[in-house]
Each structure stands twice: as C-alpha cells, then as structure tokens.
Amino acid sequence: MNARIVHIASNTFREAVRDRVLYNLIAFAVLISAAAIFIGQISIEIERLVVINLGLTAVSLFGVVIAIFVGIGLVSKEIEKRTLYTVLSRPVRRWEFIVGKFFGLAGTLVVNTFFMALGVFGALLYVAHRFSGADSSIFIALYFIILQFLIICALALLFSSFSSPLLSAVFAFSLFIIGSFADDLRGFATLAHGLTRWVATGTAYLVPNFSALNVISAVAHQQPISWQLVLQNTLYTLFYTAMALSGAVLIFDRRDLK
C-alpha cells in the first residue's frame, strides 16, 4: 500500500471518527446489548441466548447503517466541498482515492465493532458471571460481521461513484436486505420454472450472500462453526469486495467531475 492511499485512509478515518452519528449509533448498540440483560432475565435459563442474539444483531445492524450512511457520503461530500479537486490536483490517482476511502471507512468500522463488542461481552458476563469455551465462537460471528461491513463499504462506494447519496443508500440497503435472504432465494429458484427460475437464480448469485455471513443464531445455540466456512466466507468476501471496488474505480475514473 503506497503512502498516498495510507494518507487518504487516515484522513477518512479521522473524519469518520469525528462524526457524531457514529458515537450515537455505538451508544445505541451498547444500550441494546444492555437491554438484552433485562430481556434475558424475563426468560427462564435462556439469558445467554438472548444476550448473544440481540447483542450481535445490534452490532450487525448498526454497523451496516454506519457503513452505508458514511460510505455514500465519502465521494459526494468531497465533491460538494470541492476538496476532491484539491486532492486530485496533486499526484493522486482516482483509484488511489477510492481505495484509500475504502480502507479508512473499513478501519473505522473495525474500531466501532470492537467497542460495540465490548458491550456484548459485558452483558454476557453480567448474566453468566463467567465466560465459557463456547463463547469463543462469538469472535467468529464478529469476524463474519466485519466481513459484511467490508462488502457494504465497497458497495456504498460503488453506488456513490455514479449516483446521488439518496439513491446510493436505497441501492445499498436493498442489496443488504436481498442478500440477507440469498439462501432462501436460491431455494425459491429451485422450485420456480421458466423465466422466473432464471431471474431468481441470477439474482441469488449476483447479490452478496449475507445469509452465509450470519451465524449469530448458530453461535447463540452453541453450534460449532467449521473452519472451512470461515475460509470460504473470507475468500468470498475478498472476491466480492474486490469486484465492487474495481467497479467503483472504473466508474469514478470515467466520471466527469466538472
């Protein structure tokens, strides 16, 4: 990674961290994790399940919101403030600008996930009074959540490279929702016929498979997560993220910024 990308990434990280929206969302996610404690106490002997389910779901959803709303503004804000022209007037290529923005936002989300995860582990420790060996699988669930964020970041940059912030948010949220039911969509495709089957199959494999990255329920029920799945999801995320970033670079490189 060259110095120009590192500089853009660090500036993006600092700007994102200063955004009050991030702190509000992190605080809200931590509050939900705390609320899981009281909800769990209402249930009988399923406090751990409720805390992990609700806590990790909060981390995932609020992280996605941060990734989308911050990601769609990374390019448009630079254009509106006209700071993009200053950056590109220097020996900075457009692809370096996009990649630097991606790594800056990704770093922000990793840090935010760390602090939100502290809330989940704190709530879990409160209800269980100790950690067990099965709790280590929570780290795998958090890792998969971060993989989701990487894809969302790349998609947000892709859409923002050619569309308005509002439409970019709609596109990104739509893909997240559809991708969360990718496995169900594949199942529907096997039951459909004709053109419907082809459309459903194509859509299922084109949209990001977020359902494969969601192991929250399995972790909450102490089901084992295979290392084969970890490797498979990692390679899938790297491939999909690279393709989305490549698309963003190609579109942004040909965009008329005048």
Q: Is residue 65 part of a domain?
A: yes
Distance of CA 193 to the CA centre of its chain: 34
Q: Is residue 63 part of a domain?
A: yes
pLDDT digits 0-9 by tens, 74-110: 777 777 767 666 666 677 788 888 889 999 989 988 9
Q: Is residue 241 part of a domain?
A: yes
Domain that includes residue 92, residue range: 3-253
Give 122's Cβ-side CA count (13 Å radius). Answer: 13
Q: What is d(CA 211, CA 193) in angstroms, rounded to the nearest whole number? A: 24
Sign of CA dihedral 223, 226, 229, 230: positive
Q: Is residue 258 part of a domain?
A: no
What's this model's pTM, rounded to 2 decimal places?
0.87
Tokens of 43: 């249930």
pLDDT digits 0-9 by tens, 177-214: 988 887 777 777 777 777 777 877 777 778 888 988 99
Give the Å distances, CA to CA, from 230 to 94, 109, 142. Answer: 33, 20, 12
Q: What is d(CA 95, CA 160) in angstroms, rounded to the nearest whole number? A: 14
Q: Is residue 145 part of a domain?
A: yes
Give the Å distances, CA to CA, from 8 to 31, 104, 146, 209. Answer: 33, 7, 21, 30
pLDDT digits 0-9 by tens, 20-71: 666 666 676 667 666 766 665 666 567 778 888 888 888 898 889 888 888 8
Q: How many domains does the chain have?
A: 1
